[in-house]
Structure 1
Amino acid sequence: MPAPETQEPKVDIKDEKMTDAETVQKPKSPEEITALVLNDIKQNFGFLDKAAVNFEPRFSMRVLRGLGNLRRRLTPDILVSTVDAAYPSPSHKSAALILKYLGKEASTMEIDESLSGSSTPVVLPEIDIYVLVLLQVYLLDQGDLVKLNSFNDEAITILRGYNRRTLDALAAKMWFYYAYGKELNKQVVELRPLLLAVLRTSTLRHDTETRAMLTTLLLRNYLHTQAISQAHQLVLKADFPESAATSVVARYLYYVGRIKAIQLDYSAANESLIGAIRKAPQTSYAAGFLQAAHKLKVIIELLMGDIPERSWFREPMYEKALSPYMDLVKAVRIGEVPQFSETIEKYGAVFKKDGTYMLILRLRQNVIKTGIRMMSLSYSKISLRDICIRLHLDSEESAEYIVAKAIRDGVIEATIDHEKGFMQSKEILDIYSTQEPNMAFHERIKFCISLHNESVKAMRYPMNQHRVELKNVEEAREREKELASEIQEGDMEDDDGDFDGL
């Protein structure tokens, strides 16, 4: 008889996989999260040490790039542990300052007994300023503006005591949060003299990052108080460093675009905003900046007589923010003055909050010009009375003046018959006989050349690499000389004897 089959217990593979997934996705304890954050901060200390020793700013920029992810996980206990890891003693000036604003006692830190009787080791300035910046962002996220501004005043005093080029990136970041705290506390005008003084100092010290940041902060300060002429003078006289961080360059170009737009230089403003949008990070972290830049660019393109691309308004990042501007574009595109007025009345509060309300009021003339251009394309001949009725103008004389100005500005190709009171449109048979293709081709070439120049400037090379190449060349030349001398001395005599025997 065959042996009875033993029945093994069945294992559900799905349940086993779910158990493994639950084990992997098990939430971490607060102690594990604290340990991970402290590990990241200590790793950043190592990068800052490399930046100071090798004089390589890219390590400092790497640390600052991770600041946004790190600031969301900061807690008072983590900051206390960071102070314990960064400073050898709680009596250090920066350590005592941080503990004071955290509301912690100095005795909570572990004191190394071996250092109690000896001189205190010097803390690396880069690490010192980095820990101060961590507390800055923590206080800012907590929303305690009084404590933030008080701490900023004392932290800036510590920063101004250093003069190291390896601190430039960290110093620029500290000045940014310092100015932002003052702005939130409604102290914009009081901040301006200090920023100007530090800008002069950073220029004399060839501090590129701080100079770029302070120039941007001053432009923001001037625009906040509507001091457009002073902002324009700063742009003309203060040379903005081209080697600054990309995010700082993007903000600078955005502010320059706002200044140029207010001063009616729409073409220069459009170029600045294009550069700002291209240099800004195309991620959700920079969504607010990209939305503000696109809002201003939409208005500038309308003021230039162009219609923005519809694809901008369909992107998920901009769809909701640009919804009022979409209605505005529709009114300008069809040249409907009543619809334009209704849009301004409906979204006036939104436009004022975005800072584009005064620019939008200038669009009324563009709406009228667009309406005239649409009529010139639709009718070969139209009376001035019909133009007055369609555009809701006051009189036929106003319609005649507006049409004449549109003809002089090159908006339409037409003539006016004053006696009979009508507008005669001219037919454009070939667009390639105009200057439009030449201008479009010129803009493309200009963009390609500027992109090539920026790429060349952004290239990095290892330090002292040329010395290694020179050393290799010298060794090769010495080997060639040795080989040539051996050939001249006749080291092949044994071979020559064999040939003689033949």
Structure 2
Amino acid sequence: MSKEAEKSENVVAMEIEESEEAREERLKQESINNFNFLERAVETIESRFTTRVLRTTTSIRKRLTPHILAQVINDYFGEDPRKANLLSYLGEQPDVSMKDTSADDTKKEAHLPEIEIYLNLLVMIYLLDNSKFEQGTELANTSVDQVEKLNRRTLDQLTAKVYFYYVRFHELTDRLAEIRPVLLAAQRTATLRRDDDTQATLLNLLLRNYFHYNLYEQADKLVSKSTFPENASNNQAARYAYYLGRIRALQLDYTEAHTQLLQAIRKAPQNTATAGFQQTAYKFFIIVQLLMGEIPERSIFRQPVLRKALVPYLHITQAVRIGDLNQFQEGLAKYGANFKRDKTYTLILRLRHNVIKTGIRMISLSYSRISLRDICIKLHLDGEEDAEFIVAKSIKDGVIDAVLDHDGGYMRSKESADVYSTNEPQSAFNQRITFCLNLHNESIKAMRFPLNAHRKELDNVQEALERERELAQEIAEGDLDEDDDMGDF
């Protein structure tokens, strides 16, 4: 039995080794395919090939090892001494056996900068996943210097990725303030070059930089002085809408903030990979919706991705919905640390007036007449003067339809009018139509087609026109009779 057990263990070990070798070979083949796509992107000036390469980065990232990455670098660079710099970050040595592969060296004498930057990206991703932030920062600085010297449209998407990891490494080493002038200069350069991908990425990175240090006025100035490119990717558009929504919320423009945050949520990919962004966007979206006087739908808090993260905000929503000031204060004290960490604490403090207004609205619907003293007891206010002021403000704002009697010390509610006799249904219908039109326009803008794909149709049209002219000329000269075959025509 011991010999059979040893044999089975050896078989399992051989299968594991074979599977590892197969995985390594498959990963190398995928890298070679990506190199071919980048070469085609340069030859045809088609950005979709580069997009395809970047989409495979997530799957490659999960299987990336320094040994495989070193083999790919050795195979591509051959005897080029530039590979030693990249291999040093991986802790690997250059492969001296590459000297004999003269055929491969002659094939790859001219190295494309797109492939070099792509290899730098893979090494930076490896360093980021293994928490080697200092080495990653050094490589990111080198890569930024390389892309700044190049002005190639086929490098636009790769340049945007380089700047993303450049900022990420400096964020993890707490040196974001140092790179702000570099990002501003790069953003101006990308705007002049009409580099939409890099421009959109840098704009979001600058906004993230300002938000990190609570510099909201500078962020608002940046947004007002710059224009977000229309051809930017959907992910960058979602991030920009999120930042813009936060700025508008702080400026008390809740309608615009609600629109931008809703756009960010809808444009973001709906999967577990973007759970962090969805949770953050929904937190601000819920607070803004409460500040507008609306109650978020219950289904939002039941989503598996959001259920745990939105527990504090569910507590606040319930307090606002029923107008219970005590419950609101308890939730603020219990989850205050969460709100400060999410940077929503300032906005939530504004909800105190909404809680009181909601309570007054419910009281006006429940009682045709109620004294100010009873309002103080129900809403836990300090005195009748505060209650009188709040009721007067609610009547002025249109929250309730009532009359305040100062001498008698009571509030008398008016009879509820028919809502269809007002302009409220019309405004709601107009809002839905506007949303559908905006959604249609955004969908049209998001459609992408291969570059110069219409030329084939134009060639066919030109051939048909030439054939038609030839047939018309032959008919005019009498070479063709009416009974001749006109099938080609």
The CA distance in 2 between the partners of 1:493 and 1:262, in whole Å, is: 80
**TM-score of the aligned structures, taking structure 2 as reference length:** 0.91
**1:84 is aligned to 2:81:** no
Who is 1:125 aligned against?
Answer: 113
Which SS does the other structure have where 1:160 is aligned?
A: helix
The CA distance in 2 between the partners of 1:109 and 1:205, in whole Å, is: 42
Which SS does the other structure have where 1:172 is aligned?
A: helix
Q: 8 Å contact 2:40–2:49 — kept in the other structure? A: yes
1:196 partner amino acid? L
The CA distance in 2 between the partners of 1:59 and 1:437, in whole Å, is: 49
Equivalent positions of 1:178-193 (< 5 A) are 178-193=166-181
Q: 8 Å contact 2:78–2:98 — kept in the other structure? A: no
The CA distance in 2 between the partners of 1:337 and 1:109, in whole Å, is: 76
1:66 partner amino acid? T
Equivalent positions of 1:69-468 (< 5 A) are 69-92=59-82, 95-107=83-95, 110-112=98-100, 114=102, 121-468=109-456
Which SS does the other structure have where 2:163 is aligned?
A: helix
Per mean C-alpha deviation after superposition, the further-off stretch among 301-310 and 446-455 is 446-455
Q: 8 Å contact 2:78–2:105 — kept in the other structure? A: no
Indicate how the Cα distance of structure 1 residues 489 and 432 shifts in structure 2: closer, same or farther if over 3 A, else same: same
The Cα RMSD (Å) is: 2.4
Which one of 37, 46, 50 corresponds to residue 27 of structure 2? 37
The CA distance in 2 between the partners of 1:71 and 1:388, in whole Å, is: 61
The CA distance in 1 between the partners of 2:138 and 2:286, in whole Å, is: 40
Q: 8 Å contact 2:46–2:450 — kept in the other structure? A: no
Identity of aligned residues (%): 52
Indicate how the Cα distance of structure 1 residues 53 and 492 shifts in structure 2: closer, same or farther if over 3 A, else same: closer
The CA distance in 2 between the partners of 1:102 and 1:486, in whole Å, is: 73
**1:64 is aligned to 2:44:** no
Cα displacement (A) at 1:27: 9.7
1:314 partner amino acid? R
2:236 partner amino acid? V
Cα displacement (A) at 1:460: 3.0
Indicate how the Cα distance of structure 1 residues 109 and 378 shifts in structure 2: closer, same or farther if over 3 A, else same: farther
Indicate how the Cα distance of structure 1 residues 465 and 420 shifts in structure 2: closer, same or farther if over 3 A, else same: same
Cα displacement (A) at 1:106: 2.3
Q: 8 Å contact 1:90–1:111 — kept in the other structure? A: no
The CA distance in 2 between the partners of 1:154 and 1:60, in whole Å, is: 22
The CA distance in 2 between the partners of 1:28 and 1:207, in whole Å, is: 45
Q: 8 Å contact 2:75–2:98 — kept in the other structure? A: no
Equivalenced residues, count:
471
Deviations 1:191-249 (A, max 9, x none): 21111011111111111111100000000111111111100011111101011111111
1:62 partner amino acid? R
Indicate how the Cα distance of structure 1 residues 456 and 116 shifts in structure 2: closer, same or farther if over 3 A, else same: closer
Q: 8 Å contact 1:260–1:268 — kept in the other structure? A: yes
Who is 1:53 aligned against?
Answer: 43
Per mean C-alpha deviation after superposition, the further-off stretch among 231-240 and 467-476 is 467-476
Q: 8 Å contact 1:380–1:424 — kept in the other structure? A: yes
1:287 partner amino acid? A
Deviations 1:250-302 (A, max 9, x none): 11111111111111111111111111011101111111101111111111111
Indicate how the Cα distance of structure 1 residues 71 and 117 shifts in structure 2: closer, same or farther if over 3 A, else same: closer
2:19 partner amino acid? S
The CA distance in 2 between the partners of 1:34 and 1:414, in whole Å, is: 75
The CA distance in 2 between the partners of 1:434 and 1:232, in whole Å, is: 37
Which SS does the other structure have where 2:412 is aligned?
A: strand
The CA distance in 2 between the partners of 1:275 and 1:466, in whole Å, is: 32
Q: 8 Å contact 1:41–1:82 — kept in the other structure? A: yes
Q: 8 Å contact 1:88–1:112 — kept in the other structure? A: no
Q: 8 Å contact 1:90–1:109 — kept in the other structure? A: no
1:392 partner amino acid? H
Which one of 470, 474, 478 corresponds to residue 486 of structure 1? 474
2:213 partner amino acid? T
**TM-score of the aligned structures, taking structure 1 as reference length:** 0.89
The CA distance in 1 between the partners of 2:432 and 2:55, in whole Å, is: 33
The CA distance in 1 between the partners of 2:425 and 2:108, in whole Å, is: 71
Q: Can you give the 5+ residue segments of structure 1 that lack an aligned partner in the other structure?
A: 1-21, 497-502
Indicate how the Cα distance of structure 1 residues 119 and 324 shifts in structure 2: closer, same or farther if over 3 A, else same: closer
The CA distance in 2 between the partners of 1:230 and 1:28, in whole Å, is: 57
Which SS does the other structure have where 2:370 is aligned?
A: strand
Per mean C-alpha deviation after superposition, the further-off stretch among 298-307 and 435-444 is 435-444
Which SS does the other structure have where 2:119 is aligned?
A: helix
Cα displacement (A) at 1:118: 8.3
Indicate how the Cα distance of structure 1 residues 189 and 490 shifts in structure 2: closer, same or farther if over 3 A, else same: closer
Which SS does the other structure have where 1:423 is aligned?
A: strand
The CA distance in 1 between the partners of 2:246 and 2:236, in whole Å, is: 16
Q: 8 Å contact 1:86–1:127 — kept in the other structure? A: no
Q: 8 Å contact 1:253–1:275 — kept in the other structure? A: yes
Deviations 1:141-185 (A, max 9, x none): 111222221221122222222211111111101101110111111
The CA distance in 2 between the partners of 1:260 and 1:31, in whole Å, is: 54
Indicate how the Cα distance of structure 1 residues 475 and 114 shifts in structure 2: closer, same or farther if over 3 A, else same: closer
Q: Can you give the 5+ residue segments of structure 2 that lack an aligned partner in the other structure?
A: 1-11, 485-489
Who is 2:4 aligned against?
Answer: none
2:144 partner amino acid? I
